[in-house]
A and B are shown apart, each in its own frame.
Chain A
Amino acid sequence: MTNYCGYMGKVLVLDLTTKKTENYIWTDLDREKYIGGKAMASKILYDNLTGSETPFGPENLIVIATGPLTGTGAPSSNRFDISSLSPLTGITSSSNCGGNFGHYLKKAGLDALIIRGACEELNWVEIDNGEFVFHDAADLQDLKCGETQDTLQKKLNEAHGRQIRCGMVCIGPAGENLVRYASVISGERAAGRAGMGAVFGSKKLKAITAAGDAVPTVFDKEGAAEHRKKWVNYIRSHPLTGDQLPKLGTAGLVSSMQVHGLLSTRNYAKGQFEEFEKVNGETLAEELNVANNGCLSCPIRCTRRVPVEGKTVKGPELETLGLLGGNIENADLEQICRWNYELDELGMDTISAAGTLAWAMEANEKGIWKSGLAFGEREKLSQVFDDIAHRRGIGAELAEGSRRLSKKYGGQDFAIQSKGMELAAYEPRRAVGQGLGYAVANRGGCHLNGGYLVVLEGLGLNIDGQTPRGKADLCMVMQDLMEAISCGGQCLFTSYGVVPGFMIRNPNGLLQRAVNAVVPFAGPAVRVYNKIPEVACFNIPLIPYPTELYYTTGMKMTLGQFTRAGERSYNVERAVNARFGVSAANDKLPKRLTDAPQDPNNPKTKVPLEQMKKTYYRARGWGKNGLPGEKKLRRLGIR
């Protein structure tokens, strides 16, 4: 139970081996410290994993966690998180999803579900108002994600004699066959990264459905309504969230990345793709986008809808356009839309699949691993993806990801991954702060967990992308704020409003130019805030999250406390990963990015990682080993 609104006050453990559930104690103090979502999941993993578990062992846990704002109608608050020990990286990881499962999990009466053990045969689990029913899933075996969800909906409707409104998560063939980067799909949205689908597969859990009649309460309905109205108006009037993202989606970044040398090309050998205009967001919008779509309660609606095989399906995001475009030297946009759909249907992360493919193409070219895959290849790839999902032929090896392949065959210098996770499409040698983020990110080569500094280094503001100055402190504050926002259950895209619209609108104006010049020198000031965020003992309209939390839950939180909650989240995840062997030695990038300049005539165009890492660890108050010590964990209230 809880005294806070927004939450359902219940966390359950579901043991797949015994098919029984039990309550998990999660107190209001825990809620105040960790808010929910990813931080909550990290703390649960921290309290339950010892370091001896393996990703595919029954002792591994899956935590599906919502935030207090999930399902409450707050702007873009449909997110939920799946965390577990990742088969791709071997450490704990999380994957955030905009599908509607989180919303319905709360309607079923739960804030979070912890899954342990494993089924003997393939099963799907129905949650109905907090009651759990196991169903045999033999007839769902090898079904793709769309067909799986259609079948489950039909089964539920038939069983209950009426149309059941529910949320679902499921895996496709890739998850069943333990592809290390298999995703979990909810509707058309993916918890794509880190192989959460393979963990489902290892537990022989094909799907979960959730339905119920519970409704999260709101602490101050009038205040919340007023606050949300203002916030939605602001989101709709902002040039990024109200104009660019609705019109172009994330695909709108391709052209800007090209100009800044940030567009991964030919397995990150280059940062510009000659044929980028064929695969950019503008062309997608003009030629293929038939409608916009969005997650529940989202005013931004950044999702593209494109035609594939006579159907209208979810279009590719920027990362997929970059990695299945220039990074494998493909300029066929329709083909990218088709592959994106196929990968979602097979239940596979598009980023890691494409990153592994690019490594294989280069390895083939260099004669390291003769896979028959070549840059520019288009004809065979649909079959290759199907082979990966079913672990057939070279697909069985590609299913292992680029780190394992490069360890086996060589070519580690151009395996574009960190901690085993393939990087997103942002080439970091022209945005070195993003490079630092990729390397130190708890879950591996993730652009978001890394702090997304590229938004300051060319894709929003234009601070010097080559200088390491100030980047470590900025990386930390961005990571912490994004953690906290995510924990509440909201989409990170709402955070673009943090940079005022008038500044974004005029990148050539005096104000933005001054900000661009000054920000790298703001490191010491940011460091002070990072050390004592409580100096911000107030809230500001540009960062409305703590205020929204208050109206929804009744939990009073200042901007400083909110930032501290993000820091706590980051540290608890780091602390549990330390049990699985993570240290500074794992915070690395492939040599292509740290040793080889992108522009051979400009030695600055590489990531000065070691220099930035030292400053970053100091900023975080971690030891030289890149880990939070006992004192730090106690100070954050983790121990």
Chain B
Amino acid sequence: MAYSDKVLDHYNNPRNVGSMDKNDPNVGTGMVGAPECGDVMKLQVKVNPTTGIIEDAKFKTFGCGSAIASSSLATEMLKGKTVDEALAIKNTEIVNELALPPVKIHCSVLAEDAIKAAITNYKDKTAKEQAAVAQ
């Protein structure tokens, strides 16, 4: 099956590969996986606590080209968005942008799950921190 040019571009030059300190209170980490294909995807966001804007995003994915491209694109989409805007990102946006074929749609779903997991992790952290401060 041929990959689209956009998938190949992200696969060959993945953006924002790497990791951030998961213990940093401003960093949210999402780790998701698809057992069917054996993919694992880690996606992290760094949020500015005063503005609520995502200032940085990193990922590392072990999986097929489409899974790598989906998460690479996801990190690009995340930067500059607020936490709530990030939660509104739909996998269909990734599908359209990368022209993913139907058999690879689950890769975009995985990326959406990773975004949600990272944001949820960040929100949980801040909620805990606030609870600790309140005490």
A and B are interacting partners: no
B residues in contact (CB < 8 Å) with A: none
A residues in contact (CB < 8 Å) with B: none
